[in-house]
Amino acid sequence: MTTFVEFARSFGIIIDADPPLGEWRRLPTVDHPRLKNGAVRLMGDYGFAQNHATMSRPALWRGEVSQRPGAVPFDRRAIEDRLAEDRAAAAELAAKIVSRCSRATHPYLARKGFPDTLVNVWVTNGVCLLVVPMYADRGLVGCQLISENGDKRFLRGQQVAGATFTFDSGGPPVLCEGYATGLSCQAALRALRERYRVVVCFSAGNLKRVASHMQPGLVVADNDESGVGQRAAIETGWPYFVPPTPGQDFNDFHQAVSLFECSQALRETIQQLRGRHG
């Protein structure tokens, strides 16, 4: 019988012991050890694990019937109802957070090369957070919260599968993973005088799902040392660009070279897209 810890580790989540029953816990992952991209929730004889970099929805673990105090018996209908309640609560909280935001610059984006860009900023308990709304089926389902030092998290229990944020000028879709990467894509496309619809997917695991519901476009993937980003881009079947240096995303590439160089690199991928579709 696979233990819950072993199950979570199989998705690259760094975990040493069972978490408290009933609580979502954020944990680092093997592919992104400096970020808490992993999420786990143990309910007793079942639980959930998700690596947000590679998975668009939680995986379900079933163990032996637990006799521990507070354990919740396995009931698939009840589980689906509980997940739906979590998603609804997260969407409601996201709406409240977004309503409390002001438009301002943010230190995280200053480090990413966009010191003057105005974004949604929420100051709570003395902490200044960049708030990125996340939408699915045209409705707000949650948000990504980014701290000044770049720590990122989603709201507890929110929908992540299929959720996106879009910078739009009416062009073909350009899929990427992160918000700062999206800003760099937007800057490069503007430099090329190309129309665009930059779609931030928040994880490699979400790229293919989002692409499957769109007209063909291109992917700007992260060059993860694990190869996760490039594999996800290949699975979409779309033309894709990957920065040349392992560990780089397109924002890193943008900052390492000039806007002209990164826009010209992206031009080649745009030409591939045009070659496929006339």
- Domain ranges for the chain, please list them: 4-74, 89-160, 164-278
Two tokens, residue 240: 């894709």
pLDDT value for 69: 58
Domain 164-278 sits in which CATH superfamily?
A: Response regulator (3.40.50.2300)
Two tokens, residue 135: 């939408």
What pairs with residue 122 in β-bridges? 129
Interval 46-68 mean pLDDT: 78
Alpha-carbon span 190 to 200, nearest angstrom? 17
Closest alpha carbon to 222 in 231, 235, 212 = 231
Tens digit of pLDDT for each residue in 205-249?
A: 889 889 998 988 999 999 988 888 899 999 999 999 999 999 899
pLDDT grade, residue 66 (50/70/90)? Answer: low
**180, 112 contact by CB (below 8 A):** yes
Instruction: State the chain's mean pLDDT as an integer.
Output: 89
Angle between helices 228-236 and 204-211 (to 10 degrees): 0
In this predicted model, which residue has the larger pLDDT, 229 or 105?
105
pLDDT value for 74: 63
Tell me the pTM: 0.81
Backbone angles phi, psi at 126, to 5 degrees: 80, 5
Alpha-carbon span 259 to 80, nearest angstrom? 46
In this predicted model, which residue has the larger pLDDT, 155 or 110?
110
pLDDT value for 226: 81
Tens digit of pLDDT for each residue in 140-156?
A: 999 999 999 998 888 88
pLDDT value for 139: 95
**197, 216 contact by CB (below 8 A):** no
pLDDT grade, residue 91 (50/70/90)? Answer: very high
